[in-house]
Amino acid sequence: MFKNLATLNRLSQLQARRKQWLQVHLYLGLVAGAILSVVGLTGSILVFYEELQELLNAEQIAISAPPAADQHRHSLDEIIAAAETAKPKGSQLFSVYYPRKHEVAYKLMYFVRDASLSNNGNGYYVFVNPYTAQVTGVQFWYFTDGRYWGIPLVSFIMQLHYCLLLGDNGVIIVGVLAALAIISVLTGLILWWPLTGKFAKAFTFKRRASATRFNFDLHKTVGVYLTIVLLPVLFSGLYFNLTDRVNIVLKQLAPISRNNPWSGLAAADFKATPQPTAVSYSQIENAVQSLSPSGRLWLLYAPSDKQGVFIVQKRDADELSPFIGYRDFAIDPYSGKVLASYQSGTGSYGDVFLDWQWPLHSGQAFGWTGRILVFLSGLACPVLFITGVIRWLQKRKAQRLHKIGVSVR
């Protein structure tokens, strides 16, 4: 008897505590849910960022590859030389995106650096066919001064996802919302946890249930099944938008040398001594290939000024992790010497943890399975918000009816 009484008291305490967590979960959802729905939905679309860009801009990106395509590929010097003939006035090469398959053109990103031009800072893509060294098109990509209307659809979706079209303030807002969403997901788990231990019911829909119960079960099951994906995706989004703040916390737990969220090396950490002549782009490639022959060239960042260095990224090497495998190289533009290299999955626990963030956020870590899961987690945000609001309205209606019933009696 006393044991049963103690159990009832314990259950009563847990239920009272759950009501408090319910208030936290409710107000977080109402305050942040609508905006997070936008961020989640755009994130789902961006899982297929490359495919979508190639589909919508096929006339410039899609090309015909000849047999033995690699043997017919022009050098990077010839490809960049072709892009230089078509680049916007006052612009400077920022990066080179290597084709992910034979039927795709090189993408070269240029930024307008000339302060005397009215559109200072605008970004453009110049597309070049690697088999003919001919420019296949130039695409305006985005403004860097806070203007977002008139940019291509994929760029618009990306900026909406990353900063809500609010510039630097939007980056902070999205980062804070990601932190609030993590708390919301965790409180949702607390509310979901069956106090009676009936886990089978907690994981399933009730058969032949009413619309009210179906909405509740939908909110519950979508949340619990996708939590394992939502939490890492939300945390990585928090990291990308509030990198310095996250690093401050992580450095208390483990040493971190990786201070750039997008690559293992930061160009700002290196300074080259200007010389009368610089090496060619092909020599930069050769320096990387001689040091790391396996894998494929993925991305090249050009020096930002005369003291800047090249950052070259490789991925898909057989000896690297299939989940987060890539290598970065910092290269002196005048000597062609490799100044430093970084291999993902090495270094401190903190560095390895941060290496996982982009592959997890994009779904690339687990191939198509990971991408589909991240896609579904993004869709879960509006589903959870809508079903949560419906649930809240249903309970408010029930409370009003209850009060009317009491007053009538």
Distances (CA, A) of 283 to 77, 292, 297: 9, 14, 14
List the domain boundaries for the chain: 20-48+168-240+369-408, 58-151, 267-346
In sequence order, what E strands does 32-155 have? 91-97, 106-112, 123-129, 134-142
Query: Residue 87: what pLDDT?
Result: 94
Give pLDDT tens digits for 278-298. Answer: 999 999 999 999 999 999 999
**Of all residues in the chain, what percent carry a pLDDT higher than 90?**
63
Of 6-15, 26-35, 65-74, 361-370, the one with minimum mean pLDDT is 6-15
In sequence order, what E strands does 180-263 have? none
Give pLDDT tens digits for 338-358. Answer: 999 999 988 889 999 999 999
**What is the spatial distance between Cα 183 and Cα 187, in angstroms, rounded to a whole number?**
6
Asked if 154 and 117 count as a contact pair (C-beta separation under 8 A), the reply is no
- The H-assigned helical ranges of 242-304 are 243-250, 281-291
Query: Residue 2: what pLDDT?
Result: 43
Q: Which residues of 15-47 are buried (b: 16+ CB within 10 A; e: fewer)?
A: eeeeeeeeeebbebbeebbebbbbbbbbbbbbb
Give pLDDT tens digits for 98-124. Answer: 999 999 999 999 998 776 775 656 899
pLDDT confidence tier of residue 405, bands split at 50, 70 and 90: low
Both tokens assigned to 323: 């989940």
**What is the spatial distance between Cα 257 and Cα 217, in angstroms, rounded to a whole number?**
45
Tell me the CB-side half-sphere exposure of residue 222, using CA atoms within 13 A: 19
Contacts with 364 (C-beta within 8 Å, 6 or more apart), sequence order: 358, 370, 371
Query: Residue 275: what pLDDT?
Result: 94
Q: Residue range 211-232: average pLDDT?
A: 91
CATH of 267-346, one of 3.10.450, 3.30.200, 1.10.3470, 3.40.720: 3.10.450
More confident residue, 403 or 351: 351
Contacts with 297 (C-beta within 8 Å, 6 or more apart), sequence order: 98, 285, 288, 289, 312, 313, 314
Query: Residue 377: what pLDDT?
Result: 96
Closest by CA position to 279, among listed 337, 234, 205, 207: 337
pLDDT confidence tier of residue 149, bands split at 50, 70 and 90: confident
More confident residue, 185 or 316: 185
**Of all residues in the chain, what percent carry a pLDDT higher than 70?**
93
Both tokens assigned to 276: 């009368």
Give me the chain's average pLDDT, please: 89
Closest by CA position to 52, among listed 152, 159, 163: 152
Query: Rounded to an integer, what is the distance from CA 10 to the centroid of its chain?
Result: 43
More confident residue, 64 or 203: 64
